[in-house]
Amino acid sequence: MDIYRRTVELLQTKLRIPPDYVVLFVSSATESWEIIAQSLTIEQSFHVYNGAFGQKWMEYARKLRPQVSGVSFGLEEELLVETLPVPSQTEIICLTQNETSNGTQVQSSMIVELRKRFPDLLLAVDATSSFGGIALPIEEADIWYASVQKCLGLPAGLGLLICSPHAVEKAQAVGENNHYNSLLFLLENAQKFQTSYTPNVLTIYLLMRVLENGETIEQIGIQTKQRAAAWYAFLEKLPGIQPLVINYTVRSDTVITVQAPPEVVKQVKEAALQHNILLGNGYGVWKENTFRIANFPAITEEEIQRLQEFLLVNIS
Ligand SMILES: *Cc1c(COP(=O)(O)O)cnc(C)c1O
């Protein structure tokens, strides 16, 4: 309980979680997909996505709530909030802030616009691969979730689910209480800094220590954005490969996706292995013709330099 309490305090001071938001510990981002469908959606959530993770979220939700719907948008497209065809029965809008499969992100200004256009609906945001890496407009949405193995640099097996007062009200209105991970049950336990099942205490402790030792999210975000800009500039100069995403306004700061012909991707990954470097595979439809570079805070300058030197020598 003390570790829980202290970790929440640090999330408030270092990552700017508003004091009236409730922080819940779950096992993964995937679990949060189900909790949102099970405990916050009576019939209909609406999903806006441009890649595999956003789509998977919709598919998981649809298994529990068959009326779930959604729209996809293009890789290079900014989210068009004004014309977003949100059905009138929608209870909750679901958005993936950083689409890990293709290295795109939704700008904070879009989240602000969504909130303005749909002030009465819940807004849920998957920030799994950006939370802890860049500053996010937490107070502009109702549910944020992430898992700790991405920007928080920790071993996998812990998820954070963060709820606004509006989300808590909606959970009470829905009244769903049939599962070990029903939101009402988690919220009730969280009031006492307890959980409904034995949580991943070791990783919660490690999260506490990482937050204690780390900078504020504003400082971390500045570094992440500088490093991302440097990565994109570096990649644009290399012949034979290029960033997958051309439109710099939707490029991810935390997941850098590099595109090349499949034979080049294969050869670079193999050469990297020879140098003890494991390049991130492409994902889903981008499996063969991209690889991905994590731009997470725990990565050191030396590691970035080592990878850039490798790419300079091995791509031509
Ligand atoms: C990694 C990831 C997930 C899944 O996270 P788990 O911890 O494996 O459940 C979900 N959404 C996004 C955007 C991700 O990057």
Q: How far, in Å, CA of 266 to CA of 107, rounded?
A: 32
- 30 CA closest ligand 1 atom index: 9
Q: Which protein residue has the closest C-alpha to ligand 1 atom 7? A: 28
Distance 5 CA to ligand 1 centre (A): 25
Which token pair is 8?
A: 């929440």
For the residues of the chain, what is the DSSP string, one character each? -HHHHHHHHHHHHHS---TTSEEEEES-HHHHHHHHHHHH-SS-EEEEESSHHHHHHHHHHHHH-TT-EEEE--TTPPP-STT----TT--EEEEESEETTTTEE--HHHHHHHHHH-TTSEEEEE-TTTBTTB---GGG-SEEEEETTSTT---SS-EEEEE-HHHHHHHHHH----STT-HHHHHHHHTTT--SS---HHHHHHHHHHHHHS--HHHHHHHHHHHHHHHHHHHHHSTT-EES---TTTB-SSEEEEE--HHHHHHHHHHHHHTT--PEEP-GGGTTTEEEEE--TTS-HHHHHHHHHHHHHH--
CA distances from 22 to 9, 14, 119, 235 (A): 11, 16, 20, 40
Quick check: CB of 126 below 6 Å from ligand 1? yes
Name the residue of 50, 60, 147 to mutate for ligand 1: max ligand atoms within 8 A of Cβ: 147
Quick check: CB of 53 below 6 Å from ligand 1? yes
Q: How far, in Å, CA of 290 to CA of 283, rounded?
A: 8
- 32 CA closest ligand 1 atom index: 9
Summarised one tens digit per residue, pLDDT across range 281-305 is: 999 999 999 999 999 999 999 999 9
Q: How far, in Å, CA of 206 to CA of 222, rounded?
A: 24
Quick check: CB of 253 below 6 Å from ligand 1? no
Quick check: CB of 147 below 6 Å from ligand 1? yes
Q: Which protein residue has the closest C-alpha to ligand 1 atom 1? A: 128
Quick check: CB of 33 below 6 Å from ligand 1? no
Confidence tier at 159 by pLDDT (50, 70, 90): very high
Q: How far, in Å, CA of 214 to CA of 212, rounded?
A: 6
- 96 CA closest ligand 1 atom index: 13
Q: How far, in Å, CA of 259 to CA of 244, rounded?
A: 5
Q: How far, in Å, CA of 38 to CA of 44, rounded?
A: 11
Distance 211 CA to ligand 1 centre (A): 21
Quick check: CB of 100 below 6 Å from ligand 1? yes
Distance 221 CA to ligand 1 centre (A): 20
Q: Which protein residue has the closest C-alpha to ligand 1 atom 2? A: 128
Q: How far, in Å, CA of 239 to CA of 38, rounded?
A: 48
Query: How much is the pLDDT for 194?
Result: 97
Helix axes 301-314, 262-274, angle to 10 degrees: 120
Asked if the model's pLDDT at residue 316 lies above 80, the reply is no
Distance 152 CA to ligand 1 centre (A): 13
Average pLDDT, the chain: 97
Query: How much is the pLDDT for 105?
Result: 98
| Percent of the chain scoring above 70 in pLDDT | 100
Greatest extent of the chain over all pairs of C-alpha atoms, in Å: 60
Residue 292 β-bridge partners: 257, 280
Q: What mean pLDDT is predicted for residues 124-152?
A: 98
pTM (2 decimals)?
A: 0.98
Q: Which protein residue has the closest C-alpha to ligand 1 atom 4? A: 29
Asked if the model's pLDDT at residue 222 lies above 90, the reply is yes
Distance 192 CA to ligand 1 centre (A): 28
b/e burial code for range 175-195 (CB count within 10 A of at least 16 → b): ebeeeebbbbbbbebbeeeeb
Query: How much is the pLDDT for 151?
Result: 98
- 147 CA closest ligand 1 atom index: 7
Q: How far, in Å, CA of 307 to CA of 316, rounded?
A: 15
Summarised one tens digit per residue, pLDDT across range 13-63 is: 999 999 999 999 999 999 999 999 999 999 999 999 999 999 999 999 999
